[in-house]
Amino acid sequence: MRNYQEEGRLAALRQLKLLDTPASESFDRITRMASQIFNLPVAAVSLTDRDRQWFKSRVGIDHDSIPRDKAPCSEVAETNEPVVIEDFAASPSYADSLLAHAGTRFYAGAPLITTDGYGLGALCVLGTEPRQITPSEMAALIDLAAMVMAQIELQHAFGRIDPVSGLATQMQFRDDLVDLARDRPGERRFAVAVDLARDDELSRFRQAMGGARVDDMICEASLALQTALTPARTAYHVGAAQFAFLSPPDVEQDAYLGLLRSTFDTIRAVSSVRFVTSVAIGVRPFILGEVAADDVLRGASSAAQDARREDGAIAVYSSSNDMAHRRRYRLLQDFGAALEADDQLRLVYQPRLALATGRCISVEALLRWRHPTLGDISPAEFIPIIERTTLARQTTQWVLNTALDELAGWQRAGSPLNLSINISASNFSETDLVERIQSGLLQRRLRADRLEIELTESAIMDQPDRAMAMLRELADAGVSLAIDDFGTGQSSLAYLQRLPAHVVKIDQAFVRGLSAGDSSDATLVETMVDLAHKLGFRVVAEGIETHNAAAALARMGCEEGQGYLFSRPLDADRLPRWLVERDADCTGQTAAA
Ligand code: C2E
Ligand code: MG
Ligand code: MG
């Protein structure tokens, strides 16, 4: 029993993460005061570890710890009672102790007790003369020990309570899970993650409504959640707009999911909070002690992402989806490093040709990432992962700098080639984007109309008002604009017509049908080309892989084309040679005609 208690005591001490931490003025202040009150040279906050007394704070002592054996502070920690030794020489227990040998004659220690009742050690004073202690001195020592504990618990609470909602944090969730796994191993539970909004949505809310209003909404949501859970279950605030909690033990899955569903229906029905209408809930079944605490929460979050993507309110953890999430997470983590490294990212350039003459007019810069261990990762995979994060800005800046350097080189070499770069929807929110593009051009003495910015139709439709404003600014700056992946977004014609874009790029999916020779596909593409012309756009076809498709598009009046038929995207150093060969081909063809 004694041992069991000692293990609990040591666990409590470890959990506070105080051992071997640096000295801190907030403790030293109290120790100094103790030494002054007693008019004694030595005082310490002494924590009782397995076999040492470690001093979190000390005056008049050189060592930062002494052996626990025959240290009076250890007795204080074990009994949770004050200990006074008026004269070491007269004490049967301590006459032969290390302290006595070092010349100590007097000791008084008051216990440091946690709210759970564990004794961590003592606040103590020591003297080199025998001495007595008055009741008021003892009362002062006990008060000071309580101040030390208040300080310890304050520091411990830091990072454990969310300042917005007042709920326990992810750190606390993890620690509580570790405790539960120790106390009730083998019990079956569900971890539930409640995701109020995606991070990018949240930052958009913050921009639109102001941080304080969003914090209020998160608070309201947390209150609604905690009320629904009743005081018996703790809700944790584990991410900016994510909460988590644990199910009771050994409930049956279907019944529990049903309960969750009705709980959230009730919250929705009674809540005025806008967020609560779009919550995504992830449920991770697990057995206490068998899954690491971090994995429990990550699994529940991963399921919440599934719920959001699949537009269902609740999703149960799936390990295959989780693998995909883990890969996404890893790519996201590693992409930051890729931007810093100088050998992982590069641009390749895909030629765009005038279909009537076969001449290359411009190239599209496309980003390539060679991951140090995973190898080549397609932009179709990594761009969607990073473009909703703060990395989008840096990425676009990297592409812009690299591509404009290249364009400046072509200009110096006398090449009239133009350049397109792709940007993401989230780049719209950067108020200085147009300025950065303009200064990039200016620094390299490039004319604005040599650069074209491609934006997908769906990115534009994601935030139509912002897109319109930014495209206007760009157009005013003289930069050309292209609507990429045309035909794949649900944009209204009236809206498209108002966009100050010059070019639409018909998505490859439609062009692929042409290669297959399907006549209904041909009719569709022809209609798109006509429509785009009527709206005043030049038309570029993407993904041309066959002569048939190229010929059909030329007949339809499509001005330009891009695709493997002409060239795959090329490394910058291979481009000049390709251009020379292409020019020679065109001249040859014209001469032959
Ligand atoms: P996108 O802008 O529509 O680019 C065209 C994609 O089609 C490129 O894929 C290109 O390699 C590919 N392609 C070109 N011709 C053919 C063809 O004949 N057949 C087939 N099957 N594919 C062809 P890539 O380079 O993998 O890029 C995929 C997408 O990733 C791009 O689509 C673009 O949306 C995005 N992306 C690429 N680079 C960047 C970048 O620097 N910034 C941003 N924001 N997005 C980028
Ligand atoms: Mg593009
Ligand atoms: Mg495209």
Q: Kindly report, residue by residue over 369-398, the tens digit of the pLDDT.
A: 999 999 999 999 999 999 988 899 999 999
Say whether both 105 and 203 belong to one domain: no
pLDDT of residue 590: 54
Summary count for the chain: helices (H), strands (E): 21, 22
Number of domains in the chain: 3
Where does a domain end: 157, 178, 197?
Answer: 157
The ligand whose atoms approach the alpha carbon of 459 most closely is: 1
User: Taking CB atoms and a 6 Å cutoff, what residues make up the pocket around ligand 1?
Assistant: 350, 366-367, 378-380, 383, 399, 422-424, 454, 484-485, 508, 542-545, 562-564, 569
- Ligand 1: residue of 366, 428, 430 to mutate (most ligand atoms within 8 A of CB) is 366
DSSP 8-state secondary structure symbol assigned to residue 573 = G
First-to-final CA distance of the chain: 101
Give the pLDDT band of residue 593 (cuts 50, 70, 90): very low
Q: Is residue 274 part of a domain?
A: yes
pLDDT of residue 311: 65
pTM: predicted TM-score of the whole model, two decimal places: 0.67
The ligand whose atoms approach the alpha carbon of 454 most closely is: 2
Say whether both 515 and 557 belong to one domain: yes
Write the CB contacts of 97 (distance below 8 Å, at least 6 apart in sequence): 70, 71, 72, 88
Nearest CA to ligand 1 atom 4: 366
Say whether both 448 and 553 belong to one domain: yes
Say whether both 51 and 146 belong to one domain: yes
Residue 253, CA distances (Å) to 190, 257, 258, 259, 283 in order: 8, 6, 9, 10, 10
Say whether both 557 and 426 belong to one domain: yes
- Please give the Cα distance from 268 to 451 (Å, whole number): 49
- Ligand 1: residue of 344, 383, 404, 544 to mutate (most ligand atoms within 8 A of CB) is 383
Write the CB contacts of 38 (distance below 8 Å, at least 6 apart in sequence): 108, 125, 127, 137, 141
Express each pLDDT in 103-128 by its tens digit: 999 999 999 999 888 999 999 999 99
Q: How far is the CA of 384 from the centre of ligand 3 (A)?
A: 14
Say whether both 334 and 313 belong to one domain: no
Residue linked to tokens 């007795």: 75
Chain-wide mean pLDDT for the chain?
A: 90
Say whether both 399 and 488 belong to one domain: yes
- Please give the Cα distance from 80 to 120 (Å, whole number): 9
Q: How far is the CA of 480 from the centre of ligand 3 (A)?
A: 16
Residue 226, CA distances (Å) to 22, 106, 166, 195, 409 in order: 37, 52, 11, 14, 61
State the residue range of the domain holding 239: 168-317
Say whether both 373 and 299 belong to one domain: no
Question: Which atom of ligand 1 is closest in space to residue 347's alpha carbon?
Answer: 41
CATH code of the domain in which 226 resides: 3.30.70.270
Question: Which atom of ligand 1 is closest in space to residue 456's alpha carbon?
Answer: 34
Say whether both 342 and 313 belong to one domain: no
- Please give the Cα distance from 45 to 27 (Å, whole number): 8
Say whether both 358 and 265 belong to one domain: no
Express each pLDDT in 213-268 by its tens digit: 888 888 888 888 888 887 778 899 998 889 999 999 989 999 999 999 988 887 77
What residue spans of 544-574 are helical by DSSP H?
Answer: 547-556
Express each pLDDT in 337-378 by its tens digit: 999 998 999 999 999 999 999 999 999 999 999 999 999 999
CATH code of the domain in which 49 resides: 3.30.450.40
Compute the Cα dihedral for 193, 196, 200, 203 and give only its sign. negative
Say whether both 37 and 149 belong to one domain: yes
The answer to whether 427 and 396 have CB atoms below 8 angstroms apart is: yes
Q: Is residue 324 part of a domain?
A: no
Where does a domain end: 275, 293, 317?
Answer: 317
| Strand segments (E) across 168-300 | 168-169, 188-195, 236-239, 242-246, 280-287
Q: Is residue 302 part of a domain?
A: yes
